[in-house]
Amino acid sequence: MIDTIIFDMDGTLLNTLDDLTDSVNFAMEQMGVPLYTADEVRMMVGNSAHHLIKCALPDGAGEDETTRCLEIFEKHYHGNLRNKTAPYEGIIDMLRAVKAAGYKLAVVSNKSDGFTKELTRDFFGEFISTAIGRSERFPRKPAPDSVWHAMEILESQKETTVYVGDSEVDCITARNAGLPCIGCLWGFRDRETLEAEGVTAVISKPEELISAVAGINLK
């Protein structure tokens, strides 16, 4: 029986797209290159800030240019990561329900570890105390190491854990970790993208999560 739920952050628990877009465009402006719409940034996120900036810079940008742009982005984002960011509708009620039902909860994200811990504490500290982001300690998702570490902290087993995310990276991460994956349709990717990566179940509203977990238990 599933007793542990590990969540992705961006696109799953938090709608961070507008703040990410603002910081990407601030960095692009500083670099003198074209800006992006939120829908364009949506398709770049999920693989870490470095990947995001590498995708945003024009083809042919070197590593030195990418590193400089990433520093501009991260400095701006650090000061502006809560301007427009908020939990998706229904997330707080869902977390309250799964916590009351006795599930152990964690966040594992490709957002930097500091940002991941800060946002988890600020928005979800009542429900989630374990949050792991990208750092030199673990390779970024879809490598499973950070998910396994969260399971160690929670004293959970593969057979009793599910991963919840909104992107193909999350589906692959769950598969690499040996876990079922529940995909969220309110995030940054569509049903076709998630199903193409073999997602275990798909939900369109946060309140459907407990039922989806129950469905995995019956398989």
Tokens for 30? 């500083």
3-state SS assignment for residue 130: strand
pLDDT value at residue 3: 97
Q: What is the mean pLDDT of the chain?
A: 95
Q: Which structure tokens are listed for 24? A: 């990407």
pLDDT beneath 50: ranges in the chain: none
Residue 154 near residue 104, CB atoms below 8 Å: yes
Say if residue 58 is exposed, middle or buried (CB neighbours under 10 Å; 0-12, 13-18, 19+): exposed
Give the pLDDT of residue 46. 76
The one-letter code for the residue type at 119 is: L
14-15 vs 86-87, strand pairing mode: antiparallel
41-61 pLDDT, tens digit each: 999 987 788 999 999 999 878
Residue 90, classified by CB atoms within 10 Å of its CB into exposed (0-12), middle (13-18) or buried (19+), is middle
Cα distance between residue 109 and residue 128, in whole Å: 14
Helical segments of 81-125, H only: 91-100, 113-124
pTM, whole model, 2 decimals?
Answer: 0.94
The structural domains of the chain, ordered by start, are 4-15+86-218 (3.40.50.1000), 17-80 (1.10.150)
Question: Cα-flanking dihedrals φ and ψ of residue 140, to 5°?
Answer: -70, 155
Structure tokens at 183: 């995909």
Report which residue type is found at 200: T
